[in-house]
């Protein structure tokens, strides 16, 4: 029996690997939307993760008629920074909202911003919102959260983004120290995808 296939609107290698690892547990295949790199880019100018995820899913699903397409927006919220970087997580160290910054630059800026904060003020959470659409019609949104703390120095060589700085008390390690399978069990993206797959299973 062929596994159900779901298209995800992203070119991020890290996100695709996260989604694939989480979906594998449920007998579902998640692959990049065909020729995604050739499609017009959707500007992520929403004020919330949900707004950006919905905008991307609706727009990109128009390019694959009849197919179920998901898109996510995710980021890091640090309590001591009043929820920043939030929806600007990928652009935290960028010079403008129209650019992205490297993982290293974003991590360096985060450490700098927190350099004078005591350890007890380094609580944070990763948030992911997945939106599902077909032919431009929104079908639902699914939110996942992972609570943790920001370390004073990076640990681990796996993952991407802020993973080396994000310590998960539940797993007793950073996201960058986890295998893809471990991360799927503890991460915000894994939690959001689990909720999506529960919904998806009820549609079959």
* Cα separations in angstroms, 40 against 1, 43, 53, 137: 35, 9, 16, 18
Burial of 143 (0-12, 13-18, 19+ CB in 10 A): middle
- Give the pairing of strands 173-174 and 166-168: antiparallel
- Is the separation of the CB atoms in 9 and 63 below 8 Å? no
3-class DSSP state of 171: coil
Active-site residues, by number, are 73
Distance CA 194, CA 197 (A): 5
Output 183-186 pairs: Cβ under 8 A, ≥24 positions apart. 183/18, 183/21, 183/158, 183/159, 184/18, 184/21, 184/22, 184/25, 186/146
Are the beta carbons of 183 and 126 closer than 8 angstroms?
no
Three-state SS at 193: helix
């Amino acid at each position: 029996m062929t596994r159900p296939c779901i298209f995800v609107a992203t070119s991020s290698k890290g996100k695709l690997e996260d989604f694939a690892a989480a979906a594998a547990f449920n007998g579902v295949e998640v692959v990049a939307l065909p020729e995604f790199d050739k499609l017009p880019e959707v500007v992520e100018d929403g004020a919330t993760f949900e707004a950006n995820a919905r905008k991307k899913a609706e727009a990109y699903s128009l390019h694959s008629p009849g197919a179920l397409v998901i898109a996510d927006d995710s980021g890091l919220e640090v309590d001591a920074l009043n929820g920043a970087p939030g929806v600007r997580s990928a652009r935290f160290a960028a010079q403008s909202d129209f650019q992205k910054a490297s993982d290293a630059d974003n991590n360096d800026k985060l450490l700098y911003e927190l350099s004078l904060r005591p350890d007890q003020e380094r609580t944070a959470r990763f948030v992911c919102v997945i939106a599902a659409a077909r032919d431009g019609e929104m079908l639902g949104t699914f939110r996942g959260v992972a609570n943790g703390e920001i370390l004073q120095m990076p640990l681990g060589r796996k993952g991407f983004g802020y993973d080396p700085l994000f310590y998960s008390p539940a797993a007793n390690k950073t996201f960058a120290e986890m295998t893809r399978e471990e991360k799927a069990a503890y991460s915000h993206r894994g939690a959001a995808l689990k909720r999506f797959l529960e919904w998806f299973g009820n549609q079959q």
